[in-house]
Structure 1
Amino acid sequence: MGTWGSGNFDGDTAADHLSDLTGRLISEIAEAMSGDPVGIEPDEYWGVAVPCNLELLGLIAAQGYVGASLPAPETIADWKSSYLAVWDRTIDDLEPAAEYKEQRRAVLVRTFDQLSELAKR
């Protein structure tokens, strides 16, 4: 209990804060992923915010701080499958350049995969 170091995240209160913060990010993703798939289309708010939240979770988790939580790898795999299905089904409606489409999809896949790897640790 208390403090175990001099860093900003080396104490119980900081761990509680990180738990709350990562919990909110996970809850937002879960809600977006369980809602109407239109909400996660590439040009919709959650279509942009979900990958942002995933990357933020990964950045936090990579630090190894106590209190940072991640969803189970199976949950991340389900999210990836659902998200990319919507992406693949709708991205051409926006008429993106082929290079952008390819590069963006690769970034999305990498974002999910990196978080999944962190969750397996």
Structure 2
Amino acid sequence: MGLIHQVELFDALADGTRRRLLVFLLDHESRDVPKLSGVSAEMAEMNRVLLREYLSGSRRVDGGDKELLRTHHVHLPKLDEFDFIDWDQEANVVTKGSRFDEIRPLLEPLEGREERVAPVADVRLRR
């Protein structure tokens, strides 16, 4: 397995949202993706630099769904680029990609356990 391939696998699994989506696809053919609407849709149309700053910061916007924006602008494009999923943006549906079977062995041990895995933000290091 090449270094680039390993990086893609670990990058795909590095985020809980991406892991949960991939684990879901183990037993399902597709997953509907909620559409962006209202303030979130307006924010998605704004300047890419401002959107990136908003998604990476702690600032809140009334009516904006930061996690859904992050899903549409970070997680789904990344998994689609790696071909682990196919994302039909018009139909708002995700299906298994051409390389899904390459990541399957890493997902199977996570099946049924993902809910118990603490999000990165909840992990604290002791000194």
TM range (shorter): under 0.3
> What TM-score do you get using the length of structure 1 for normalisation?
0.26
Larger strand fraction of residues? 2
